[in-house]
Structure 1
Amino acid sequence: MAKTNPGRFFEDYTVGETIHHAVPRTVSGGERALYHALYPARHALYSSDEFARGCGLPGSPLDDIAAFHVVFGKTVPDISLNALANLGYAEGRWLKPVYAGDTIRSTSEVIGVKQNSNGKSGVVWVRTRGFNQRDEVVIEYCRWAMVRKRDPETPAPEAVIPDLAKVVGPAELVIPEGLDFSNYDFTLAGEPHRCGDYEIGETIDHVDGVTVEEAEHMMATRLWQNTAKVHFDTGSRPDGQRLIYGGHVISMARTLSFNGLANAQIVAGLNGGTHANPYYAGDTIKAWSEVLDKAETPAPGVGAIRLRLVATKGGAPFELKGEDGKYLPHVMLDLDYWALMPV
């Protein structure tokens, strides 16, 4: 009997099954320090316990995207070890902050499968949930990945394509317990802009860029225990290059968005996301944002802002798709999310 795990292939997934992922992980202040070492993260709520307490929280949580990486990383050996690409996200919500000392585990329910026309791969949709040690759901989201088939001759399963919401409604966003921006310190946060200062349709060039190197994206992938072969093994792709983990691009783009959106403190919802083109070591990540919507919340002083975050390599900002409706070659990431911001 084989003792090693070759990972699941497309024909190994059954709609309706729930996969319990190994191995639970207890997070500490080390994750925060490493996150800030890998990315120039500066959002004040995740940098300062005192700032977080001034906003009604018991202390500074783990950055929302870092918490997402922890939950996501658990799923890779069972969902995307043999993936050709991670294709997109939907219906994401952050339900509880993750604090140092919390232990996180993940489960995924298979909600859809569809074989590709070439018969060599297929798309698998899953709904993943991350739990803390109190069995509280801290994060939930859907994603879909293109996964290799073990045997191209295996008959195609009946296609099931889930009907996923295009937007998480503002009323579905969960505000962290106690969050209060009534006495928000704009000076310490780094910018004076409130939710009301942004107009729907406004675009923001975040100006800065970061060139990604092999060492840092490999460290990030190991930190989040993402074992997908395309990120580790140069022999797993015909071109001999390692793909940069899409989550690394998300974190870098979100971090770059500080310049212009420093007060978009908390990521509360993930409406959609596409990894449009691959990144490789040596590419320079730049980012721009578009304001898509705004909403009120019941929390004192707290508003919600819906943002499109686009990561690029080269090209002019605010360019997204060509006349054919396809993403332009320099567009790497198109992410649609809700953030919480002082009103």
Structure 2
Amino acid sequence: MARPKRTRSEDTGSQSKFVQVVEGYLAKANWTKQQFMAEIQVGEAQFYRWARGENVPSKAIVNRIAVFLGRRLDEVYQNLPHNPFPVSDTIDGLLNELLEAAGYSASIRGKVVDSSWQEIAHNRSWKLGYTLVYPNWAEPPERYGEKPIGIAIDCAERVGDLLGIDTEWQYLTWQEMPLAIAERKVHGIAPFMLAAPGRFFDYRLSDPWYSGGKLKLTAVTLPIEIDADFLEDLPHKRVRLVYIENEIGDWVVSMLGNYYEREAFADKAKAFSYMKAFESKESDVIPILCSDHVLCKSVADENNWQVLNIRCVKDLELYPAFAFHPNEEQLTASVNAVLKLVNQVS
């Protein structure tokens, strides 16, 4: 009895990286797998062998796929008469991505396709990620369907208006942001990202949003009996550093080295609850939350806690910025041009 053809799609988690990349482009091209396979003249059985990782396409086929995808994406994203070949003109990036996903070395070292920018230009809208940034930078809406509020939200909306695009919002935790950017689930992150060196691998940061003000890095703790202005002056064995993963405090903790115990949390609410639990119990542990000075001062004022300076970063001042995919050169350049206007008139 002949073996039936496989017609369902493979589970994404078990697919080869090459097929995952191809399917991402098929979605942008509004192509079905059947249409795609007919264009590149590859059978269904072969495609599913690639998906299962049983073999890989030859370089010749990868080149062919890049050409056909480039032509199709030109049709989707072209802006006539000004930019008729938006993807073909930068096909080196598309080809490199496909080659590397298939396990080959990139043939051309050149500009990678600004795929988010092409999508934004086509739809005349962008989707930005945000999270709760205390106390007044970004805050989820009270009612479903409404927009978030905060000074970073207002800035992003203004930049979008000046670019002539609508702004959509997607709530993310700090933990979720790097992957959401890497997979382009969002086009960027609202301008509350501080330009710490550890973030350069995950994001391409815009120019500073100077109107947001410069921020210093500090810490906050419960009232303690020890007279100390700097975190480093406290007994190392008693200190437990508290931080939110991927928030600026995460980088601060890494700067303090491995001398201290650490406790990481997914969001500020959980971190605050952990800190407050020490108010009602006797403990030799001194829990210290690391973050920017605006958050630390606000938390200290609300809870009658104590702000501590951090000697290793005491002279560092950071400005907030938008964050984008590392390969989004055109999107970043366009936002930078608009930010100059925003900084001048704010």
Shared fold (TM-score, shorter chain, > 0.5): no
Which of these two proteins has the greater Rg computed from alpha carbons? 2
What TM-score comes out, normalization by structure 1 length? 0.22
TM-score by length of 2: 0.22
